[in-house]
Amino acid sequence: MKRLLTLFVVALMLWVPACTDGGSSPAAIEDATDELYTCGMHPNVVEHGPGACPICGMDLVRLHKSASSGVQIDPVVVQNMGVRTEVLKRQTVFRHLRTIGEVEVSEDQLAVVNLKYSGWVEKLYVERTGDPVTKGQVLFDIYSPDLVAAQEEYLLAVRTQGVDSPIAQSSRRKLDLWDMPGTAIDAIAKSGAVQRTVPIRSPQSGFVLRKSLIEGTRVAAGTDVFRIGNLTKVWVTAEIYEHDAPWVEVGQHAQMEPSHQGGEVLDGRVAYIYPTLNSKSRTLSVRLEFNNPGIRLKPGMFATVLIEYRRLDDVIAVPTEAIMHTGKRQLVFVSTGAGHFEPHPVTTGLVGDRHMTQVLTGVAEGDEVVVSGQFLIDSESQLQEALRKMLAVDGEQRPRPTESEHILFSCPMHPAVLADSEDRCPKCGMDLEERGGTPEEFAKVYGALTAQPGQFTCPMHPEVVSDDPGMCPDCGMFLDEVPE
């Protein structure tokens, strides 16, 4: 492809003599191009009036004036090219870190039912793991000889010393330390009777995550008999790679997409970053917190997690596809109206998600930039620039060769093939195209004119002429034989 482009440029150079330093002024160029017509497929065809291309037969299109800093395109052509623009405004630019997380029960939403005395379960009211419970709901009734003995001690102290006596208060405190409700203790003092069984209630609302007893079971002191979890808020533990770890901070906004509910997004935040790295997977664990309305997130589920980082607010940003990378610099095309577009060099900052890129210099808020079709506009601007240079010869406009010039014909693909009249290329069969210029001018831009039939020259460097076949010393290509 590079060779074809080079040959095409050489062919364009053959059409006119090389430009000198004293070229025509931009105003003169614009006045000339405003009256000329060219072919969209063969830009070397330039006529003073409308008509058909002598090579392909297509209708010639008019060359309009264009500013030296931009390109002018007919609005109808702009619409046909599918050019789409967007007005710049200040917005937020950020990047997302995408990973996988697992839903867990929040440790601060867990409660355990643990007895401080031994006893037997007389009646069990919550019989299944997973059942929902509310705070204060009776889970089971327990009979404990130790608890009955403590009640009798309290009653004895109340009868003999009074309810406010130090001995009665000491006995009451023992029942308090064994987690007997204050209302139950008051009921004992008022009724004067010991309660054989004591109801054990749920410390919080939630779901029974674990149950280790059945009705009639003997429970030893210190045994966890129920574990109850509140799932209205859950934790999500995610793993991030160590090269992403410096960008993650506590408090950053996070989003979660449950795998079982495609399209639904829940908002949360980074709550904690674990201090150690997994040496095997080279990942760091991060804990996220999410609200769980409707208890749709179940512990053990996996979800896609997006952590928002490197957030920049109130900055000018352009769609990433609007930026053209030329190698040394970056450009965007700004529309100034009526089909006129100007290239603006820009300096970019953060390349964010959602196809937005921060722009530091080159454009301002309110500018209308091209976000689709800018490559066609760039091609059009280069074409117009090439035509202006082709038409500017020694300070005068030269759209066609004069009678004093020598008319030659050459092949667009093989510029070494020259003829004095119309013919076909002996190498590829293409029609030879007309070229204008004096023999001296041809000799300057194409040294192969000095080569004779039977000699050899390089297709890329026609100034290289040899009597014997071989390779070009400049590019290493095989030399071609000059045809008759």
Catalogue all structural domains in the chain, each as residue range(s) with its CATH number: 2-77+382-438 (no CATH), 84-106+233-372 (2.40.30.170), 107-229 (2.40.50.100)
Express each pLDDT in 419-446 by its tens digit: 777 778 877 777 877 765 555 555 544 4
Express each pLDDT in 197-227 by its tens digit: 999 999 999 999 999 999 999 999 999 999 9
- The pLDDT score that the predictor gives to residue 40 is 66
Express each pLDDT in 317-365 by its tens digit: 988 888 888 777 888 888 888 778 888 889 988 887 778 888 999 899 9
Alpha carbon distance 188, 163 (integer Å): 11
- The pLDDT score that the predictor gives to residue 353 is 77
- The band of 95, judged by pLDDT with boundaries at 50, 70 and 90, is confident
- Edge-first strand order for the sheet with 418-419 is 418-419, 408-410, 433-435
Cα 130 to chain centroid distance, Å, stands at 42
- The band of 25, judged by pLDDT with boundaries at 50, 70 and 90, is very low
**Residue 416 is encoded by which pair of tokens?**
């070494």
- The pLDDT score that the predictor gives to residue 401 is 45
Can you tell me the mean pLDDT for 100-116? 93
Can you tell me the mean pLDDT for 263-273? 90
| Helix 145-161 vs helix 182-191: crossing angle, to nearest 10 | 60
Alpha carbon distance 481, 26 (integer Å): 42
- The band of 68, judged by pLDDT with boundaries at 50, 70 and 90, is very low
